[in-house]
Every structure is written in structure tokens, then in C-alpha cells.
Structure 1
Amino acid sequence: MTAFTGTSYYYRRFRPGIPAALAALLAQETSAGSPLRLLDVGTGPGLVARALAPYFDEVIAVDSDQAMCAEAEAALRPALSAGQRLHVQHTLAEDFMPPVGWQPHLVTCGRVFHWLDQPRLLNRLNEYIAPDGVLAVFSDRSLWTADSAWQQTTRTVAQHFLGEQQRAGDGVFDPPGQPDEEVLRASAFREVTTATIPVRREWRTEEVLGYLYSTSFAAPHLFGDRQEAFEATLTDALAPFMEGEFLVEDNAFTVLIARRPCVRGR
């Protein structure tokens, strides 16, 4: 079992994708190539790969959860243009080795870098990424870390049912010690630039519930026979924060773009 066991259905349908501005930024940072190749590690249901696929000729998406891979295949395959190539592979990001001669120009780690054996992944990427390849590590704030009043209320209700400590599936989430930027600067990809992409979202209550069920800390099976009570409690608690039909969220993606020294994009 992985920390995301049982979440793939909700992840594909209720997790926000990446904004168009972020996809355009990453495409712009990627050096030209023919064919242009994307590797999306920890792809989940393919949200990042789908946003970036129009910019690339070949896409490989990998994930350690078999159900996530099935969702990614279902989401990505129908969206391909003529001539585009896609491979979805069930494997650990740290174990992945591309086909012989296949070198990605962009490697993306969207909302996943903290789950990985970072030094091992970075060493492996250094073996096969294109000479001018770019690694992009990015994430937005989750409902566990966001700070608006309605998000704090959501977290409080979840903690009432699941406990104060952040869950990671059937275990406990243990965040890595070093900030992502420090980890990157200690690796072969130590030339790092940063960007921030703001986003504003509107949520219905049922979408907040779906989002929660897509997370490692509030997967449906963790509630057991209290899931219905949790849904009713959260719905009542969020009602005072509704702006019309919606709960409004201001968030932002923090983006780290990493290269090996003396290697520049276009």
C-alpha cells in the first residue's frame, strides 16, 4: 500500500491542475529539442503531464501507485495529438530508467518532491537527463498548510475525526528536514532559479470533500464508519464562509527551476 491508496478516483476529479501560466513558464524554460521530451515523476492521475503535453512530442509519466497510473492513462491518452507519444509506467521515481537513448529535456516533480528519496532521485536524473535538461520542482499550499479561515476550519474538523498529527495513509507524515532549494543546490542541479505563480480558486463544499479524499492525510478509508458524520460536520462548519455558492481560495505555486552549472536554456 502507498500513502495514496484509495485516493486515485478523487485525485483525478478534485485536485486542481496547474495553471496555464505555470505550464507556459516551464515550456519557456525548456531548451529546444526534436523530439522534445517530458518526464513527469510522481504523475498521479497525470494533471501536470496533461497541462504540459501540448508543448512536447514525447511524454513519459511514472508513479508508484498502480491505480494512479490507470487514471493517468485514462486522462492522458485521449488528449494526445497525432504523432505524440505517451508511456505511463508503474515504478518508483527513484528506480525509473528511460529507454536507451531517451533523454528528457524537462523533468517535473509537481507536489511530489517531499515524498521522494531526494538525493537518490537527483543522482539518477543526472545519469540520463539531456545535457541542457531542466528539473522543475513545484507545489502549492495544501489544505493542511493553507491559512484562510475556512481552510483552518476544514483542518480543525479533519483533525477532530483523524487526530492532530498529519496522516500519511495509515502512517504519519514526516516532512523532510531540508528545504527543497537547499536539497537542489547540494546536488548536480545546483543552479536554481525561483518563481511564484498566484492562483485564485472557487470551491463548492462537495469539491472540498473530494479534495480531502484525494489526500494522504484524509483518504476515505481513514474515516471508517465515521465518514458520513465527517461530511455532515464539515458541511455545517463551512456554511458561514460561503460567498454565494463558493469558498474562495488565494494560493500560489512556488516553482524551483534547477539546472546543472553552465547549462542554459534558450
Structure 2
Amino acid sequence: MTYPDGPIPGLPQEMEALFAAAAATYARYRPGLPDAAVGLLADVLRGGPSPVLLDLGTGTGQVPFALLSAGAGLTHIEAVDVSPQMLHQARQALTPVLGHCTLTLVHAAADAYEPLATLPGEPDSGPDLITFCRSYHWMNGPVVLEMADRVATPGAAVAIMGDGSLWTHGADWTHALRALIQHYLGSERRAGARRSYAEPRRSYEEDLAASAWSDVSEQSFPVSRIWTPEAVLGYLRTTSFAGSDLFAERHQAFEDEALALLQSHAVDGSLVEEATFTILLARRPGGAR
């Protein structure tokens, strides 16, 4: 099921449009989660009688898809996103692998999310794991963490995770690519059509320390990715710093120049990204609610 229908009150139309335009391309070109990271999340869920996942900013459903594929034993998934187009992609990906697990797709901003209902007679039927994969930076962190404390089961965990982007990666080819983007769009990193990226006022760790989820461990997983020049262009179309709408009529010119640049840096047609996928796994101290 999906709820609610219609636009989200108070959500900037630009943000919803950004994700809507990128949904199908996102499903094709965004890298998934490393197996070791999926294993860590699956271990958090194992042992519970009926594990429930709340995935905030689910996008195309990468986190629930990975956990279902890893046999994490999920019984229910609540997948939340601001874009109905992203949720459509998530439904297409998840439906074939659900098995006996139920799925609710929630068209909402994470900051405003509330569960549809608690199961009658089961006060602890909320999520056992709440995940943010490459999505927390879009949200009002303290508000979302307070909501997570309100809805989660007593022994639940929160996982904030990600691995940066090709904008921040430090290889020669990504430096050259970033310089080309800046040549077209200006020196500041863009965050959609109308604004520039601003560093968060405090770190994710500081947000967690100030919340109910102050028992935090950090796990890092090295990831080696092989890109083709064409796949890099596909990935860029999904980003807030180099999406096609930012270039307007100059987008084709940018892609032509970017393809030539990437091909010049490729070795045997491949570009290597050595990244680190990090998970901040947080619980309430002592398992208290």
C-alpha cells in the first residue's frame, strides 16, 4: 500500500521535482550497499521475533532490497520518500523479493513521517531498525531522530550511512570532472537549481550525541568500484550537483565534454573509485526507551 496520495504539504516543489526526474536513472546508476555493510544491518535484525524496518529516504528501495536478498527475516518494511516516482521504482524492485514480508510505501518527508498505525495489542510493533542511506543530509536531523525515538521498539537501532560522492572523491579523474562541472556551473557546489550546498552546522555524530540515540559505534567498509565513462554520466544525472536541469540547454555540451574527459582518464575503458562506506549504528543507552 502507499499513503498518502497527493503532494506533501510544505515540501518545496523543487525538491520533489529533483527526485522525480532522477528516479529511473537513479535505479540504474546509483551504487548499492557493500555486502559487509548489509551483513552488519542484517545481524542487527536477527534474533528478533518479527523484525520491522523503517527506511527513511528510501529512494529506489536499495536498503530493504539488500536486506531481503540477504535473508534478514524481515516481516514488515515501511519505506518513506518524498518522491512518488522513487516509490514506484522501489515497489518494482521490492515486490518480487518480498516473500511473506509486507510493504508499506509512504509518500512523506521524513521530518513529518508518522506511522499509519500500531498493531492492536502489540505496543512494541514499531521498527527494530531505522535506516538512512545517503539521505540524512536532506532532513532535519534532530526532528527525525526524536521521531525515531517515539516510534521505535525498545531495543531498536538507528543506522546513518553513506560513502560521499564523486564530487568529494579524491582521484585524478574525479578532480578533473569536478573542475569541469565548476566551469559550467560555478565554483560553489550546487544543491539543486536554486541553491548551493551548505555544510551541516554540526556533524551526524553530534546530532546523535544530543539525541536519545547516543550509544554510537562506527563501522567502515572499503569499497572498490569500477565505473565506465557512460555510467559516470548516468550517475551525474541523478545528483543535486550535476543533474541535467542545472545545465539547461548546455547539458549536452557538458556531457560531450565530460565523456571525452573521462575517456582520457580511463584505463582499458574503466575508472576506479576507492571509497569508504561508513555506518553510524546508534542505540539508546542501556536499551532504554
TM-score, normalisation: structure 1: 0.95
Letter in 2 for 1:172: S
Aligned to 2:238: 214
Aligned residue in 1 for 2:258: 234
Contact 2:161 2:277 in 1 (8 A): yes
Work out whether residues 204 and 247 of structure 1, in 8 Å CA contact, stay in contact via their aligned partners in 2. Answer: yes
Question: Displacement, 1:29?
Answer: 2.6
1:126-165 map, 5 Å: 126-165=149-188
Unaligned residue ranges in structure 1 (runs of 5+): none
| Cα separation, 1, equivalents of 2:56 and 2:110 | 6
- When normalised by structure 2's length, the TM-score is 0.87
Distance 1:29 1:100 in 2: 22
Q: Secondary structure at the match of 1:224?
A: helix
How much does 1:5 deviate? Answer: 4.3
8 A Cα contact 1:196 1:255, kept in partner:
yes
The residue aligned with 2:273 is 249
The answer for the alignment partner of 2:107 in structure 1 is 90
Match of 2:132 in 1: 109
Q: Bigger CA drift: 1-10 or 101-110? A: 1-10
1:198: Cα distance to partner? 0.8
| Deviation (angstroms), 1:240 | 2.6
d(CA) in 2 for partners of 1:6, 1:173: 19
Amino acid at match of 2:107: H
For the pair 1:191 / 2:209, whether they are aligned, the reply is no
The answer on whether the counterparts of 2:127 and 2:153 sit within 8 Å (CA) in structure 1 is yes
Give me the identity figure in percent: 37
The answer to whether the Cα contact below 8 Å between 2:216 and 2:283 also exists between their aligned partners in 1 is: yes
Mean Cα deviation higher: 57-66 or 3-12:
3-12
| Equivalent position to 1:169, from 192, 205, 208 | 192
Secondary structure at the counterpart of residue 155 of structure 2: coil
Identify which of 45, 54, 63 aligns with 1:48. 63
Displacement of 1:155 in angstroms is 1.0
- Residue by residue over 1:207-255, the C-alpha shift from the partner in whole angstroms, topping out at 9 and shown as x without a partner, is 0001000111111111111111111111111223212121011101111
What is the match of residue 39 of structure 1? 54
Q: Is the 8 A contact 1:139 1:254 kept in 2?
A: yes
Q: Which amino acid aligns with 1:63?
A: D
C-alpha contact (below 8 Å) 1:31/1:133 kept by paired residues? no
CA contact (8 A) 2:163 2:278 kept: yes
Whether the 8 Å contact between 1:31 and 1:105 is mirrored in structure 2 is no
* Aligned-partner residue type, residue 8 of structure 1: A
